[in-house]
Amino acid sequence: MKPDHVYILRLADTCLIWSHRLSEWCGHAPVLEEDIALANTALDLLGQARALLSHVGDEDRLAYLREEREFFNVTLAELPNDDFAFTTLRNFFLSSWTLLMWQRLVTSSDEQLAAIAGKAVKEARYHREHAADWVVRLGDGTEESARRMAAALERAWPYCAELFDADDTDRDAETHGLGPSWSTIEPAWRADVSAVLHAAGMALPADSKFRSDGKRGRHSEHMGRLLAEMQYLHRAFPGGVW
């Protein structure tokens, strides 16, 4: 597969898998307003994923007919929804990251990718603001909500290193103007995350030696079950139409 396609698929697959995880909250969020907000965020992410997938190939084939190791999403996106605190914190981490990515991709040498980014950056700005508000509300809320946020931070933080793990694909994209090397957005991301966590009564944890590697197709044990659910209907009725 072409390096530029892998670079785009890493973002596309992250949006797709993250969208699927958010869709699992439909009908289960703690309040009706947030139930709708999470569903809307999932739809935005699905739209971004579709635009990116269509840019590099057939969106249905790429979404439904690839095997687990052919997906390049970051591992954080595929982790199950243990509770609302974890979902909230993951939303903030990934929204802050995607906002920074989209802001840089609007100047991509790939005109279609730049156009996708121009629309997506507006959605990501809202996603980041909404998630940040919830992080502060829960972290600086009750004793129970603060405890759950602390547990969510402990679980999610080790997976964040993958968001800035640059390799030859990133460096090639940066050299040709396709998009930024992921490592270059880490300082801005850390500054944003640190400020929001501080407002929530939390702080950045110490960095972990653990490294997840979903962006290279090596996923957690949760990915296979997620794909089995997401891909079932298309595989059971190939070529089916509404």
On whether residue 202 sits in a domain, the answer given is yes
d(CA 99, CA 123): 9
- The model's confidence at residue 137, banded by pLDDT at 50, 70 and 90, is very high
pLDDT, residue 82, reads 84
On whether residue 50 sits in a domain, the answer given is yes
On whether residue 157 sits in a domain, the answer given is yes
- The model's confidence at residue 131, banded by pLDDT at 50, 70 and 90, is very high
d(CA 17, CA 202): 28
Amino acid, res. 185: I
On whether residue 177 sits in a domain, the answer given is yes
Give Cα separations from 159 to 6, 55, 67, 79, 211 (angstroms). 20, 28, 22, 10, 7
Mean of pLDDT over the chain:
95
Q: Say if residues 181 and 33 touch (Cβ distance below 8 Å).
A: no
On whether residue 134 sits in a domain, the answer given is yes
- Counts of helices then strands in the chain (DSSP H, E): 10, 0
pLDDT tens-digit profile of 140-156? Answer: 999 999 999 999 999 99
Question: For 2-16, 59-73, 106-120, 228-242, which range has the lowest pLDDT when averaged over its residues?
Answer: 228-242
Q: Report the number of distinct structural domains present in the chain.
A: 1
On whether residue 176 sits in a domain, the answer given is yes
Q: For residue 240, is pLDDT > 90?
A: no
Neighbours of 144 (CB within 10 A): 10
Q: Which domain, by its residues, includes 48?
A: 3-236
Instruction: For the chain, give the percent of residues with pLDDT over 90.
Output: 91
On whether residue 80 sits in a domain, the answer given is yes
Packing angle, helices 84-105 and 111-139, rounded to 10: 150
**This prediction's pTM:** 0.96
- The model's confidence at residue 239, banded by pLDDT at 50, 70 and 90, is confident
On whether residue 241 sits in a domain, the answer given is no
**For the domain that residue 211 is a member of, what is the CATH number?**
1.20.1260.10
